[in-house]
Chain A
Amino acid sequence: DVKVTQSSRYLVKRTGEKVFLECVQDMDHENMFWYRQDPGLGLRLIYFSYDVKMKEKGDIPEGYSVSREKKERFSLILESASTNQTSMYLCASSSWNSGTGILFFGSGTQLSVL
């Protein structure tokens, strides 16, 4: 079974703090993704990576950066957290040649920025 593990289920941070969200997958997938989910807004893609050290901006990259130093690990960084970054953050992975485009998601990190 594919497993995508996010390091924290719940996080509370203060405005201005630097925040690291970590994600690890165990299926040797090339692609990894960071989404955020907000009520009424669906899933919005922040960044994705298709290889080690490679990254591409998604639909809402502002205020975020990412790091992929190893194939299995994809980190999302909030350089200076703000209250409008309070959200559910979802990491996902997929195979580069997935026939159907299926993404496998982690359990999510509910981040609250106070």
Chain B
Amino acid sequence: DQQVKQNSPSLSVQEGRISILNCDYTNSMFDYFLWYKKYPAEGPTFLISISSIKDKNEDGRFTVFLNKSAKHLSLHIVPSQPGDSAVYFCAARVEGAGNNRKLIWGLGTSLAVNP
């Protein structure tokens, strides 16, 4: 049973437009949500995170929005650039102490930004 769901396996966007990647979750015990970006044949790199007590976090072109009542978060990329083409993973951290803090991963959304 997937606790973190990225329902869109792929997304295609024109350069300069907004990319919106979505993530839904089922577990109310998540205390942090993270977005990672992964290029082919490379390891994922951390992009941006948000605490469960916030509803928005912004870092340059990347903004993450959290709607706790809907158990939904989204990553907005504005403006989208061809270099943003990658697989984006949503991950959630289980609230707890030390070793119990595990990350639960979505299956990823492949973003293609077309020139």
A contact set with B: CB distance below 8 Å: 4, 9, 31, 40-43, 45, 50, 56, 88, 90-92, 96-98, 100-108, 110
Contact = CB atoms under 8 A, between A and B. Distances in A.
Interface of B: 9, 32, 34, 41-46, 49, 51, 89, 91, 93, 98-99, 101-103, 105-108
A50 B34 contact: no
Q: Which of B32, B93, B98, B102 has the most CB of A within 10 A?
A: B102
Nearest to A102: B46
Contact of A103 (B42, B99, B103, B107): B103
Given A42-B107, A42-B108, A110-B41, A103 B46 contact: yes
B34 A90 contact: no
Given A40-B9, A101-B32, A101-B91, 5 more contacts: A40-B107, A43-B44, A91-B43, A100-B34, A110-B41
Nearest to A56: B99
Given A42-B105, A42-B108, A106 B32 contact: no
Nearest to B50: A100
Contacts of A110: 41
B34 to A, nearest CB: 6
B42 A108 contact: yes
Nearest to A103: B103
A104 B99 CA distance: 16
A4 B34 contact: no
B107 to A, nearest CB: 4
